[in-house]
Copies of this chain bind each other. A is one copy, B any other.
Amino acid sequence: MRQAGRSLPEYKAVRGPGSINQAIADPDRATEITLQPVRRYGVDAAILFSDIVTPVHAIGFGIDIKPGVGPVAEKPITSSDDLSRLRPLDPEADVPYVLETVRNLVVELDVPLIGFAGAPFTVASYLIEGGPSKNKGKTKSMMLDNPHLFQQIMDRLADQAITSLTAQVEAGASAVQLFDSWAGCLSPQMYERHVMPSSQKIFEAVGKLNVPRIHFGVNTGELLTRMRDAGADVMGVDWLVPLDVARERLGPDAILQGNLDPVVCLAKWPSVAEAVREVLARNGGHHGHIFNLGHGVLPELNPEILKQVVDLVHGEGSAHLTDA
């Protein structure tokens, strides 16, 4: 469960008042933060505590993660002159702390560790907009009006993602997830033409590592087949697409991750339990299912509810599999 930590009191205690980048750059803290939700919830995998803009930050592009805002780039990319700030990532030199965190974690953990990277489109949107953007107007305009520059950005970010994911797996991560969080703002045609090739390049390259490749973005119901065809072994599904509908689109053997509405977890337990059972019912006992939320955990979530979700899934999920 992505961002499962941020609603936890023990997270707030260790996280410190500084930028999230400081916590990511401190392997002891990053290790502890990664372990916290595994310890509290007893989930079946851990996801590395890091950020999708960590590599771009580390190479000195000039991006910071502002609390309550998100990634902010003081000098967004407007022309090819800005490309020089997007040099290749050298993991051992640029993000040694990430690799140390991964190495610590594989010693500490009894469950698999999922490494991750931001997909080129989603990372590019921050670099082009200069920060979080509701409409992604500058990104879409550059994509259509200046496809050459846009593709150069995408290509550099794809190479960074490949280098980063490879280093994480070599350090011990058991699976990789590519987060194309905002790809869902694109029509399928725009995704296919301008975004899919870069993600395809990443999945092809990390395919050599022989670890499961997970792909996820929110609002991607219309993109599911293309995102899978980019080379994902597992498709993350948001809460808008019932799992049986996702399998109608992706085929009956599709391996899916999802898809409880994280907002529903703000309701009372009987309502949440019903929604959990609905997800399991829509999966229908299929073995290719990783139960998860359909998006990140909300900071205001009550951790007790999430604990009950995990316990219910561990109970009912097994029942479903036994029934199947």
Contact = CB atoms under 8 A, between A and B. Distances in A.
Interface of A: 135-137, 140-141, 144-145, 184-190, 219, 221-222, 239-242, 245, 261, 263-264, 266-268, 271, 274-275, 278, 298, 300
A264 B136 CA distance: 10
B268 A145 contact: yes
Contacts of A137: 263, 266, 298, 300
Given A145-B271, A187-B242, A242-B187, A264 B140 contact: yes
B144 A264 contact: yes
A240 B271 contact: no
Where chain A touches its partner, the secondary structure class is: helix
B261 A187 contact: yes
Q: How many copies of this kind of chain does the complex include?
A: 2
Most buried by B among A184, A187, A242, A300: A187
B135 A242 contact: no
A281 to B, nearest CB: 10
B261 A245 contact: no
A144 B267 contact: yes
A136 to B, nearest CB: 7
B278 A136 contact: no
B263 A187 contact: no
Nearest to A269: B145
Nearest to A138: B266
Given A145-B268, A266-B141, A271-B145, A239 B136 contact: no
A324 to B, nearest CB: 22
A239 to B, nearest CB: 5
Most buried by B among A141, A186, A219, A263: A263
A145 B266 CA distance: 10
A223 to B, nearest CB: 8
B240 A140 contact: no
B222 A271 contact: no
12 contacts: A144-B271, A144-B274, A145-B267, A145-B268, A145-B271, A187-B242, A187-B261, A188-B242, A189-B278, A219-B219, A219-B240, A222-B241
A98 B221 CA distance: 38
Contact of A298 (B135, B145, B261, B271): B135
A187 B239 contact: yes
A240 B187 CA distance: 4
Nearest to A294: B187
B242 A189 contact: yes
Contacts of A136: 263
B222 A245 contact: yes
